Chain A
Amino acid sequence: MIPRYQRILFWSLVGCILLMGAFLLHGCREAHKRLTALNDATPIAAPTAAATEEVNLYFASDANATIHSSRAQVALPQDTSLKARALLEHLLAQYSRPDSAHPLQSGPSVDDVFLLADPAHPNAGRITVNLHGSFADTHPSGIEVEQLTLDSIIGTLHAAFPEFNEVRFLVDGQVRETLAGHASLDRTYPLLDTTAGPAVPSEAATQP
């Protein structure tokens, strides 16, 4: 026959074990929650001095082959080269939205932008845009769609950097013949306002 005090002690200890088990389980859950909260995939923004600026973005529309400009507030770094790259990345990222009028795949688009000003000629600088290889590889193929992407970049650069007058494109640091089989990347483009849409044929322009 087990004494009464031993039975009380036994059940008290069993109760303690269950309580401790519940406490441990609760602690584990809390710790798991804390750890997954830290494990967010969002990259931490680089510590650059970025001030929000109002910029003109030139957007392409495939339906009627036009470029229209629209003003936007974008946080841009102070350094000119980083600013140009951030501006173009922001512009091209808009095209991967579901409601885009000129759909492009999302992903890295611009590797670097180099701005080469000519001190002797104040308005004769050249911008070199080094596109990411995957951007060119996944770009839709066609004369209209490729030219609109170039016109969108050219117009936006012209509005943001009026002191530069021409642009060249590289892909992964190399000269490539075309963007995706059509629009030539093997030439220098003048930086100008690209908002003028496609022309319509006219009877007046037929005579020499």
Chain B
Amino acid sequence: MVKRNPAGMHMESAENSPGAGTTRFRLSGAKALSPSYNSKNVIQQRNHLPATVAAVLLTALPLVSQAPPPPAPPAPRPQPALYRNLIVLDPAHGGRDKGSQISANSAEKEVTLAFAQRLRPALVAQGFTVVSTRDSDPADELTTDQRAGTANHVRPLACILLHAAPAGSGVHIVTSSLVPPETTPPPGRAVMWNRAQAPVIPMSLRLANEVGLTLEAANLPVLLMRSSVPPLDNLTCPAVAVELAPLKGSSKNATSAADAGYQQRVANAIAAGLASFRTHNAPPPNAIPSMASPRAGVAP
């Protein structure tokens, strides 16, 4: 089922699968829109708005240009730490930013979008709700700060950045190269925008490992790497970047990252890896009554 929420985000939910929790997400997601998200949405729709809204637009513009979006306004009741069935996909590049040239007639921005469109149904089949930072090729590219703002706002179980490369081999699972802090910062303390990922690095490494295992099980070559690919360092959710490099089999010619069959195999393996990550790291709250208090922040 495809619908648009008030923020204009494209959402697809698996209502037929148990535990998808779509209704709850939609309500709170619509209620707790941050000012930065609203203003960005206004910008995207300005072609359709009457001139009377122009004044509102002008006052909202400076908010968009500020690099770190302000945190969401205090909610009337405490928000859950994360939505265990929500995944954010970020097909990298787009607009004037074409990325690298994958083959003679496909740029990276097209390959990442096509890959996201294969990954989405695979995730929905595993009972996940998917939010994507883009569903088309926008005229103006999204800044990495806008992408991070979208992902941080919705509190997903995991954020997956999608890239492709014309060289190298196999699937690269990339975790931020930030060093996690020695002491856990107390909750509610402001997080530095450039180091937002640092406290969740151990979770991101576990996520990379889980996805790597399912890719290996699907006979796909995997490399786990560390690199600060924007906006990886700015994400507050467990996050990895997946880089599809050519698949070099026993035959001489390699399968390009633009190949539909290759993308589908990787998409199925990533979805299985995320489901396994959810089982190990965010079990449903009612499944473990004895651990109810530490898991209180996890929404079903």
- A residues near B (Cβ < 8 Å) are 62-65, 140-147, 177-178, 181-184, 186-187, 189-190, 198-203, 205-208
Contacts and interface: CB of A to CB of B under 8 A. Distances in A.
A201 B224 contact: yes
B65 interface: no
A143 B227 contact: yes
Interface in B155-178: 163, 165-169, 172, 174, 177
Interface string B171-213: 0101001010000000000000010000000000110111111
B243 interface: yes
Interface stretch (B41-49, B79-87, B92-100, B130-138): B92-100
Which 3 residue pairs are nearest across A and B when measured between Cβ atoms?
Answer: A201-B212, A142-B165, A141-B100
Contacts of A206: 206, 209-210, 213, 276, 280
Contacts of A64: 223
A65 B172 contact: yes
Given A181-B100, A201-B212, A145 B225 contact: no
B229 A184 contact: yes
Given A65-B168, A142-B168, A177-B230, A198 B280 contact: no
B103 interface: no
B206 A182 contact: no
B241 A143 contact: yes
Given A181-B100, A200-B212, A144 B243 contact: yes
Contacts of B144: 177
B237 interface: no
Contacts of A184: 227-230, 233
A143 B211 CA distance: 18
A82 to B, nearest CB: 29
Nearest to B175: A199
Given A206-B210, A207-B280, A208-B281, A182 B168 contact: no
B100 A144 contact: no
Contacts of B228: 183-184, 187
Nearest to A202: B209
Q: Report whether over half of chain B's contact residues are helix, strand or loop; otherwise say mixed.
A: mixed
Contacts of B276: 206
Contacts of A190: 179
Contacts of B166: 142
A200 B227 CA distance: 16
Interface residues of B, number: 43
B111 to A, nearest CB: 12
Given A142-B165, A205-B206, A181 B213 contact: no
A144 B230 contact: no
Nearest to A150: B227
A181 B281 CA distance: 32
A136 to B, nearest CB: 14
A143 B169 contact: no
A117 B225 CA distance: 31
Contact of A147 (B169, B208, B227, B230): B227
A145 B223 CA distance: 13
Given A141-B99, A143-B174, A144-B245, A182 B213 contact: no
A142 B167 contact: yes
A141 B108 CA distance: 10
A208 B206 CA distance: 8
Given A140-B100, A142-B243, A181 B93 contact: yes
A178 B230 contact: yes
A5 B3 CA distance: 118
A200 B163 contact: no
B209 A201 contact: yes
Contact of A144 (B97, B194, B208, B225): B225
Contacts of A178: 229-230
16 contacts: A62-B168, A64-B223, A140-B167, A142-B166, A142-B245, A143-B165, A143-B227, A144-B167, A177-B144, A178-B229, A178-B230, A183-B229, A201-B213, A201-B224, A205-B205, A205-B209
Contact of A200 (B211, B224, B243): B224
A198 B99 contact: no
Nearest to B279: A206
Interface in B213-243: 213, 215-216, 222-230, 233, 241, 243
Nearest to B224: A199
Interface string B141-152: 000100000000
Contact of B165 (A63, A145, A205): A145
